[in-house]
Amino acid sequence: MALIAFIGYCSKNQYNELTGENQHVSMSTEQEISLGLQSAPQMAAQHGGEIQDPELSGIVKRVGQKVYQSSDAARSPYKFDFHLLADPNTINAFALPGGQVFITYALLAKLQNEDQLAGVLGHEIGHVIARHSAEHMAQQELAEGLKGATIMATYDPSNPSSVGSQQLAAMISNLVLMKYSREDELESDELGVKYMIQSGYNPEALMGVMEILEAASGGNRPSEFSSTHPSPENRIEKIKASIEKYKDLKAAK
């Protein structure tokens, strides 16, 4: 079972021209776009639907399109659309596969300037370009296959205590996926910095977003190891490194 799961995972291999990575993904870009469009209404409904304020939603769409169309992201097959959700309590932004990007009013209200908004949207564009959702689906399939193999290998029907091995396998599976998520966040931060620079925004504003998120958490965050997101402090250091990495690109602007 483990071998079949591993072979299946390795066979799902595609090259991403915009990130320069060979990725294990479980769907085509066309399938990603279709999935994102189908899922968008449901995801919006979970956050109170799209806000009925043309001025605010227009700002989000304008900034998002500027970051998308003025950066390397425009060379992707995805057609991005940006949505402002009415949720006044949940501080969040997320992207569906294929280019559907969302930000809640709760987060928008805390941002201090357009550059910070560009940083949030650039980060979410990065998730789409890096095909993180497609990667996660392939990783989930691998993790489930390995978990099933572990359960079959260790479970003893005559010894009920062996069920603990199932719980251990599930925990290991979840931690593997969390690690990928933290790596994805850092990669999206780097891509966000690059896209901000290419579209004429100040990439240092993304560090301000991290500080806003830290303040909003009230310091009540789980340890980085058990969280799907890196700590804001860690992300700020990585953002600084990304700004340094793309400093020549900034000078060219």
Structure tokens at 18: 């915009």
User: How many Cβ atoms sit within 10 Å of the Cβ of residue 220?
Assistant: 5
Contact (CB, 8 A) for 107 and 209 = no
- Distance from C-alpha of 32 to C-alpha of 38, rounded to nearest angstrom: 10
Instruction: Return the bridge partners of 95, or none.
Output: 101
- Residue 249 in this model has a pLDDT that exceeds 50: yes
Report pLDDT digits (tens) over 164-200. 445 545 544 454 444 558 889 999 999 999 999 999 9
- Distance from C-alpha of 142 to C-alpha of 24, rounded to nearest angstrom: 10
- Distance from C-alpha of 94 to C-alpha of 126, rounded to nearest angstrom: 11
Report pLDDT digits (tens) over 18-53. 888 887 677 789 988 998 999 999 999 999 999 999
What pLDDT, on a 0 to 100 scale, did the predictor assign at position 253? 57
Averaged pLDDT, 5-13: 52
Report pLDDT digits (tens) over 98-123. 999 999 999 999 999 999 999 999 99
What pLDDT, on a 0 to 100 scale, did the predictor assign at position 6? 43
- Distance from C-alpha of 70 to C-alpha of 85, rounded to nearest angstrom: 24
Domains of the chain, by residue range, sit at 2-252
Report pLDDT digits (tens) over 197-215. 999 999 999 999 999 988 8
Averaged pLDDT, 3-10: 49
- Distance from C-alpha of 126 to C-alpha of 68, rounded to nearest angstrom: 10
State the pTM of this model: 0.80
